[in-house]
Structure 1
Amino acid sequence: MPRKRSSSRGSARGHAAQKKSSRSLPSKKNRLSPSAWIAVITTGLVIGSSLTAYAAYIDIAGGISRENVDTDAFGDRPSKVEGVVNIMIIGTDKRDGDNANYGEAEGERPDTLAIAHISPQRETATIVNLPRDSMVQLPACPASEGYTGSDPQLGMINSAMTYGGVSCLWDTVEKATNVRIDHFVSVDFTGFKGMVDALGGVEMCIPEAIHDTKAGDLDLAAGEQVLKGEEALGYVRSRKGQGDGSDLMRIDRQQEFMAAMARQVMSGDTLKSPSNLYSFLNEVTDSITSDDELTIDTMADIAIAMREVDLKDINFVTVPNEPWPQNENRVQWVTPDAEQLFQAIATDEYGGDDSGDDAAADDDAGAEEESVEPGDVGVEVINGVGTTGLADQVSAILRERGFSVSGTGNPEGVIPEASTVYYAPGAKAAADLVAKEAMNATVEEDSSLSGNQVQLVMSSDWRGFKDKGVSGDVPGSVKNKSAADSTTTSVC
């Protein structure tokens, strides 16, 4: 029979939450000053403002366009990981207004598309680029003002925005990646140029001379130079004038440029001076659009949590891909590598140090945990979801994966908000082993348990287990770049 879950569990969880919020900050390295914060804006990067200029920022933020996105209409959505924020970044090729000089285009499509994964616990920001020519299953999108809508079909991921706007693209990205998207930020050509010019340009190393008439008649000599707004836009948009002309190589250049911009912002005077910061933000807000739930307070919460981020922990990756057999000008995502990357993002297992406060507490106490195998772990399965027979189903899967099941049942008393694996003091390794099998499960110490006995309590957010062929480990095909590194400066 399962153990009783009394209201004391709730107070224990409250204590744990209090402990996490008061965790000590890392030592100073290449990080932002305590008065600065980071937020994700531009085609793939999170850049921020200053808490000392908060009132001025509220005034500036009034220039940001807001759009309502009814995510309830998406149906079943991926589960949310507490504390994590995933922002869909759209570099749009909109050609009206100030952007009319960049030619004509049918509809509005993402010129750049990425997911910015912000993890305060890991103190990392990871930008996952999704090639705009990726062939994915597009969901049905209803027609709305200015959009024709579409039936479910196989198509390029960026065409979703043409059919149904940001809402359709948001739904498409969630269904294709199984990553919960919390917000979106869109910036057009003019906004990108404004950011670069407000910084006084961005210093870059150009490995080879570039001339591309289709990218604003871009003409750059090889070597180190400062790219101003128009040149910077041409550089990140250029395809035919560099390398093999593919969108994938262009993504590499965009990542390199964004890393250079991050280094410049975080090491320069922009974040140190409220007046410089005000000028920087004032240049770009008229060209930024976000969902109406990405409020000033939400931005501030994200920024405060990430204010100690190190340059080396701002990461850029591209989803593993290969040519689409039906058309070599399109790409398809490589399986299972892409699923493993998205799984790591969706469950907040990508990058950084996930040892957390519990590991630090163990170190302080001099505790050492022995490595364990599934056969060493006994699991009590508690069904807090309300689905009849779920505990028996889960038990069968655990046994199939080598674990021992000591009992099943329904909870009595408080059910945790998030599915949780409870473990005895010194047995965190056993809990981690069980939690790693699940799509979403946290771990928490429980002094009433002993040995390697753990208790899996499934809550309303329970999403089942990971496929055996799709682990939380990131495959070797995923090439990670950090903002602290440069792949081209060595040739200058």
Structure 2
Amino acid sequence: MFLRVTSEDAHGDGKGGEARRGGGRTRLIRAAGALVACGFVLAMAGAGWAYWHLNQNIKSVDIDGALGSDRPARTVTTPAPSASASPLPSGALNLLVLGSDSRSGRANAALGGGDSSGARSDTAMVVHVDAGRAGATVVSIPRDTLVTRPSCPLPSGGTTAVAYSSMFNSAYSVGGPACAVKTVESMTGIRMDHYLEIDFSGFAKLVDTLGGITVTTDQDIDDDKSHLHLRAGTHRLDGEQALALARTRHGIGDGSDLGRIGLQQKVVKALLEQIASSKLLTDPTALYRVADAITGSLTTDTGLDSLPELVRFAQSLQGLTSQNMKTVMMPVVPAASDHDRVVAKEPAASTLWESLR
């Protein structure tokens, strides 16, 4: 069977061929437009889901509601003039940052969280950010410090009794974040503007998501309890190793909490340096993974419990680098009643807190 093609069919009659070709182009343009529109809708849906997921990740506690007005006064700062309709906050502020050895969850237990009976504040740091937010002082509080723990509200209702010569980290165990904040404020006379807490598995996941951190140790570390064995020198650590370094104490110094604090401060600085060196703003996938790791393990006060608030807070700190961060430990001396515990060394401790008000 043969198909006969006439010259009119082949070359068009001046209208039909052009119409068919024009129709083809129109259909092609419409199809391309539909694909673009579908892609846009899917991208918006994906962005919406990502926003919802990150926002839902964040856990919070109402510190202000729990503690009421029985607290030190807030630091009053005058913001610098700005042409922006909504300038970023630039005043000085104080944060209590806790690393929690939570027992809840399989991931935390696998990293040394123990049974599921509770949690302790394994790491405690008061972070004072200077006005202008380009410099900061990080003060570590030894968890074995004996303090007067004030009466604290309990999540289940009621209050705890005042406890004298109580270990600092018992505040979190007894009354949770609100009691930890109230104890720090009682010790320092400084209002904590915000509260941040990260747990075992969250910290390890964050380090892994960033591709590890680089830390230099000044001495060999052999700690069977934290499963960490490192020669003195520079090391690239994954999440589990970084967590072990922040928790180790039996393989260094006298085995007390004081030796561990220096390592914790090294780890914090290394983490900040890794975040600063990562090109997260040019890699949306990497940025999302880091944001997911942070928000998924974070507990905040209600002033930072949404994604917009956290982003705004982070943007206000964009000028802060590890080089502009001073790390110190609260001055302490061995306790007379128990040489395995420490107490604040006075007047040095009071002088330090006064300098941060």
Confirm or deny a common fold (TM above 0.5). yes
CA distance in 2, matches of 1:65, 1:86: 20
CA distance in 2, matches of 1:233, 1:122: 28
**Is 2:172 the partner of 1:166?**
no
Contact map agreement 1:147 1:164 (CA 8 A) in 2: no
Q: 1:186 aligns with which of 197, 203, 210?
A: 197
Which consecutive segments of 4 or more residues in structure 1 shift more than 4 A?
A: 53-59
Q: How far has the Cα of 1:88 moved from its partner?
A: 0.9
1:384-399 → structure 2 map (5 Å cutoff): none
**Is 2:98 the partner of 1:90?**
yes
Structure 1's 57 and 253: CA in aligned 2 closer, same or farther, altered over 3 A? farther
Q: How far has the Cα of 1:300 moved from its partner?
A: 3.5
Q: How far has the Cα of 1:67 moved from its partner?
A: 1.9
Q: 2:58 aligns with which of 58, 61, 64?
A: 64
Amino acid at match of 1:135: L
Amino acid at match of 2:54: I
Q: 2:70 aligns with which of 76, 80, 83?
A: 76
1:309-348 → structure 2 map (5 Å cutoff): 309-346=320-357
CA distance in 2, matches of 1:270, 1:59: 19
Q: 1:175 aligns with which of 162, 178, 186?
A: 186
In structure 1, the residue corresponding to 2:182 is in which secondary structure?
helix
Residue 264 of structure 1 corresponds to which residue in structure 2?
274
**Is 2:284 the partner of 1:274?**
yes
Structure 1's 288 and 60: CA in aligned 2 closer, same or farther, altered over 3 A? same
Higher alpha-carbon Rg: 2
Residue 208 of structure 2 corresponds to which residue in structure 1?
197
Higher helix share: 2
Q: 2:109 aligns with which of 75, 79, 100?
A: 100
Residue 226 of structure 1 corresponds to which residue in structure 2?
236
Give a deviation string over 1:140-161, Cα, whole Å, max 9, x none: 1244439983334331111111
Q: How far has the Cα of 1:180 moved from its partner?
A: 0.6
Structure 1's 122 and 303: CA in aligned 2 closer, same or farther, altered over 3 A? closer
In structure 1, the residue corresponding to 2:253 is in which secondary structure?
coil
Residue 248 of structure 2 corresponds to which residue in structure 1?
238
Q: How far has the Cα of 1:129 moved from its partner?
A: 0.9
Structure 1's 313 and 95: CA in aligned 2 closer, same or farther, altered over 3 A? same
Contact map agreement 1:201 1:229 (CA 8 A) in 2: yes
Give a deviation string over 1:279-308, Cα, whole Å, max 9, x none: 112123222111222143433343333222
Give a deviation string over 1:238-265, Cα, whole Å, max 9, x none: 1101222111110001101211222222
In structure 2, the residue corresponding to 1:128 is in which secondary structure?
strand
CA RMSD of aligned residues (A): 2.5
Q: How far has the Cα of 1:71 moved from its partner?
A: 4.5
Structure 1's 55 and 343: CA in aligned 2 closer, same or farther, altered over 3 A? farther
Structure 1's 204 and 255: CA in aligned 2 closer, same or farther, altered over 3 A? same
- Which structure 2 segments of 5+ residues have no match? 1-46, 78-90
CA distance in 2, matches of 1:270, 1:226: 20
Q: Which shows bigger deviation, 160-169 or 187-196? A: 160-169
Give a deviation string over 1:365-394, Cα, whole Å, max 9, x none: xxxxxxxxxxxxxxxxxxxxxxxxxxxxxx
Q: 1:287 aligns with which of 287, 297, 318?
A: 297
Structure 1's 308 and 122: CA in aligned 2 closer, same or farther, altered over 3 A? closer
Taking only the aligned residue pairs, the percentage that are identical comes to 35
**How high is the TM-score relative to the length of structure 2?**
0.75
Q: 1:251 aligns with which of 261, 271, 278?
A: 261
